[in-house]
A and B are shown apart, each in its own frame.
Chain A
Amino acid sequence: MMKTLLIASLALAFGQAHAAPIAMEDQSQLKVPPASKTPFFVPPSEKELPDNAYGKMIRDGYALFVDTKRLAPKYVGNGLNCSNCHIDQGRLAHSAPLWGAYPMYPAYRKKNDKVNTFAERLQGCFQFSMNGTPPAADSPEITALSVYAYWLASKAPIGVEPAGRGYPDVNPPAGGYDLKRGAEVFQAQCALCHGGNGEGQKVGADYVMPPLWGKDSYNWGAGMHRINTAASFIKYNMPLGKPGSLSDQQAWDVAAFVNSHERPQDPRLVDGSVEKTRVKFHANDGVNLYGQTVGGVLIGQGTGK
């Protein structure tokens, strides 16, 4: 009974019965408080960690969050760590902090009439942002990450959206964005760290400066592939140590430039067709270049494995 139901809904969701099960269908955009609302929530400090099994699990979750690629290679298909996009160990306001997220789940989404749990949200980030295979909802990894998030959210009210959640919207510039100007911003403000070809920089086997495109970056299904979401992240978090120093126009230009480069294929690829995938998943997903042609080249073909 239960099984048939599940299969039926899977079939509905993916339009085909053989699609790999994907815990969270997309990383569709959050509606978050505007940047004008001053964040006031203060997560607990390391000094307040209890010295018991709970404290140990928080430490495990913390370790996974900042050193994901090295500690959970089975689940990570690129070169990233969670903390690359959730700055200051998931603590920084306007960097989609974990304390801003935890109290807001389970979340109901009208768009597809579904309820997503916090575990599913984490699985979504493994699937898309980390281009990997998500650990099971009851795995030690998801449990530890959830415990870490729960601890950071200590004393936050449940179901009340805190100021500082997510990456605040950056208004689209009146004249649109420009890839050439974006390339100039990139060379002047980003390349020293992220490399002239967005390839990042490693020490030993691990990235210190994460890649921005190519096979070790987030995939075409990730929230960051949207130009508007990347502009929000960049405006409030980059260049590292100088948040807010770019104009809205520069943030959009450079976000578009970054997201006009190839990255791993969308794992939801429909019938091997970029066009079908665009229509199904990208046409109504913010501002993005997936499946479009820029300078005569089709974007969204993926980097291969």
Chain B
Amino acid sequence: MIPLNRVLMSSLLLFSLPSAHAAEGQKVFSQGGQNPAAMACMSCHGPDGLGMAAAGFPRLAGLSAGYLSKQLADFRSGSRKNPIMEPLAKALSDDEVSAVTAWLAAMPAPAAPDLHRQQMASDPTQALALYGDWSRQIPGCVQCHGPGGSGVGEHFPPLAHQPAAYLVAQLNAWRDGSRSNDPNQMMAGVAKAMSEDEVKAVAAYFANGATQGGK
């Protein structure tokens, strides 16, 4: 438990958010909200906010505040379904959402692999990630999620450094309709056009640092 303390201490020193807001965000993250049903995010999303790969719990550190608060709103409205996060999101106050998402967005996260557009794909998984498959109207994942899956702006979350199991679960959630919160059905079309094997392989590709096609 010593490293945990260290992480918290150093992150406290690193961040320079307006202090009251930051303190509240940090508190929700490490201790939970006012309502006891709003459990501490840290206990599932990891002390560093980088998720728990074994459990398939996602990384939240370094995701944009806009994307994070949209997801919490979507869990509340039910356009995104999950038995753990739905009640939890409903238990957070609006102030707590705004504080904790700002805190999470500012938390350090490893950079996405420094890839550029010009690589040529060497296997079908990499080809799908980089260029997509236009015969099925799938653009390359990186065209929306950024080079190496870095994430782009407020609306396009990173895929890099997300647990493979989490990425698979989300793609499947779009396929079966339990996640229907994507703006203009940008992801539903993509996910539904993919095969089960492609879902697994592309998830492994991004989880493993976009270096090799996961088999």
Please list the residues of chain A having a beta carbon within 8 angstroms of any beta carbon in chain B. Answer: 46, 49, 59, 62-63, 66-67, 70-71, 81, 83, 87-89, 91-92, 189, 192-193, 201, 203, 206, 208-209, 239-243
**Contact: A192 with B184, CB < 8 Å?**
yes
A193 to B186, CA, bound (A): 11
Judge whether B62 is part of the interface by a CB distance below 8 angstroms. no
**Contact: B137 with A63, CB < 8 Å?**
no
A31 to B151, CA, bound (A): 39
Count residues on chain B whose CB falls below 8 Å from chain A CBs. 28
Q: Which residue of A lies closest to B120 (CB)?
A: A46
- Could you say which of A66, A89, A241 contacts B190, with CB atoms under 8 Å apart? A241
Q: Which residue of B lies closest to A189 (CB)?
A: B184
Judge whether B56 is part of the interface by a CB distance below 8 angstroms. no
The 8 A CB mask of B131-164 against A (1 = contact, 0 = none) is 1101001110011101100111101000000000
**Shortest distance between the CB of B74 and any CB in chain A (Å):** 16
- B 85-100 contacts with A by CB, 8 A: none
**Contact: B146 with A88, CB < 8 Å?**
no
Q: Which of A46, A63, A241 has the most CB of B within 10 A?
A: A241
Please list the residues of chain B having a beta carbon within 8 angstroms of any beta carbon in chain A. Answer: 116-118, 120-122, 127, 131-132, 134, 137-139, 142-144, 146-147, 150-153, 155, 183-184, 186, 189-190
Q: Which residues of A contact B118 (CB under 8 A)?
A: 62-63, 66-67, 70-71
A203 to B137, CA, bound (A): 24
**Contact: A208 with B120, CB < 8 Å?**
no
Q: Which residue of B lies closest to A240 (CB)?
A: B139
**Shortest distance between the CB of B137 and any CB in chain A (Å):** 6
**Contact: A203 with B183, CB < 8 Å?**
no
Q: Which residues of A contact B189 (CB under 8 A)?
A: 241-242
Given the known interface contacts A66-B117, A242-B137, the answer about A208 and B184 at a Cβ–Cβ threshold of 8 Å is no
**Shortest distance between the CB of B121 and any CB in chain A (Å):** 6
Q: List 10 A-B contacts (CB under 8 A).
A: A46-B127, A66-B117, A70-B117, A87-B134, A88-B134, A89-B131, A91-B134, A203-B147, A208-B152, A242-B137
**Shortest distance between the CB of B27 and any CB in chain A (Å):** 32
**Shortest distance between the CB of A212 and any CB in chain B (Å):** 15
A248 to B141, CA, bound (A): 28
- Could you say which of B122, B132, B150 contacts A203, with CB atoms under 8 Å apart? B150
A206 to B138, CA, bound (A): 23
A70 to B118, CA, bound (A): 10
Beyond A46-B122, A241-B186, 15 additional contacts (C-beta under 8 Å) are A66-B117, A66-B118, A67-B116, A71-B118, A83-B117, A92-B134, A192-B183, A201-B152, A203-B146, A203-B151, A206-B116, A206-B117, A208-B142, A240-B144, A241-B137
Q: Which residues of B contact A66 (CB under 8 A)?
A: 117-118
Q: Which residue of B lies closest to A87 (CB)?
A: B134
A92 to B140, CA, bound (A): 13
**Contact: B146 with A208, CB < 8 Å?**
yes
Given the known interface contacts A59-B120, A192-B155, A208-B152, the answer about A241 and B131 at a Cβ–Cβ threshold of 8 Å is no
Q: Which residues of A contact B142 (CB under 8 A)?
A: 208
A91 to B127, CA, bound (A): 14
**Shortest distance between the CB of A92 and any CB in chain B (Å):** 5
Q: Which residues of A contact B183 (CB under 8 A)?
A: 192
Q: Top 10 closest A-B pairs, CB basis?
A: A67-B118, A63-B118, A67-B117, A241-B139, A203-B146, A201-B153, A66-B117, A88-B134, A208-B152, A203-B150
Q: Which of A192, A208, A209, A240 has the most CB of B within 10 A?
A: A208
**Shortest distance between the CB of A288 and any CB in chain B (Å):** 28
**Contact: A203 with B117, CB < 8 Å?**
no
Q: Which residue of A lies closest to B142 (CB)?
A: A208
Q: Which residues of A contact B190 (CB under 8 A)?
A: 241
**Contact: A241 with B120, CB < 8 Å?**
no
Q: Which residues of B contact A89 (CB under 8 A)?
A: 131
Q: Which residues of B contact A242 (CB under 8 A)?
A: 137, 184, 189
**Contact: A70 with B116, CB < 8 Å?**
yes
Q: Which residue of A lies closest to B189 (CB)?
A: A241
Q: Which residues of A contact B131 (CB under 8 A)?
A: 88-89
